[in-house]
Amino acid sequence: MQFRRQRPEEVGVNLTPLIDVVFLLLIFFMVTTTFTRETQLKVDLPQAASGEPVEQDLQVIELTISAAGEVAVNEQVLANPSLDNLKRALQRESAGNTELPLVITADGQAPHQAVVTAMDAAGQLGFSRLRLTTSEMQSDGQP
């Protein structure tokens, strides 16, 4: 009796399902990832011995001025902090509602002109609820 020799099947790994799973994982992570751009300015607040803490409103416009004079409105840095650009940014963020409180957070070393320009832009647009942010001074004169 003569048996026919069977050829052994080639052993291999089918990569198609593995590639499909990796591709689906890639798509899942791309869709669920949030990309945030950190545009916060570093600000060291000036000190004040007097003042009262204010209750935080639900909707507020925050205008931040760094020591270098960079200006950000609601954490969006303005490329050119001129009066016109500042007014446009404030109008965009307020959507025409000048009753919203405007909080000006300026660094202690910020140029005085930048703070005056911010207050001027707010005044020209009709904002009447302006606040300046400071840090509380300790009894020994340290912040």
Can you tell me the mean pLDDT for 55-69? 78
**Choice between 62 and 56, residue whose per-residue pLDDT is larger:** 62
Question: Domain boundaries in the chain?
Answer: 47-136
Say if residues 141 and 98 touch (Cβ distance below 8 Å). Answer: no
Sorted by sequence, the CB contacts under 8 Å of residue 118 that are 6+ apart come out as: 63, 65, 71, 86, 104, 106
Say if residues 115 and 103 touch (Cβ distance below 8 Å). Answer: no
Can you tell me the mean pLDDT for 115-139? 79
Q: For 103, phi and psi rounded to 5 degrees?
A: -100, 120
Query: Residue 96 is which amino acid?
Result: G
What are the tens digits of pLDDT across the range 4-50? 777 777 777 888 889 999 999 999 988 888 766 555 556 565 666 66
For the 47-136 domain, the top CATH level (class) is alpha beta
Torsion angle of C-alpha atoms 133, 41, 37, 119, degrees rounded to 10:
50
Q: What is the pTM of this model?
A: 0.56
Q: Parallel, antiparallel, or unpaired for β 102-106 and 76-77?
A: unpaired
CA distances from 118 to 63, 76, 84, 102 (A): 8, 15, 10, 10
Can you tell me the mean pLDDT for 108-123? 85
What are the tens digits of pLDDT across the range 70-86? 888 888 888 887 888 88
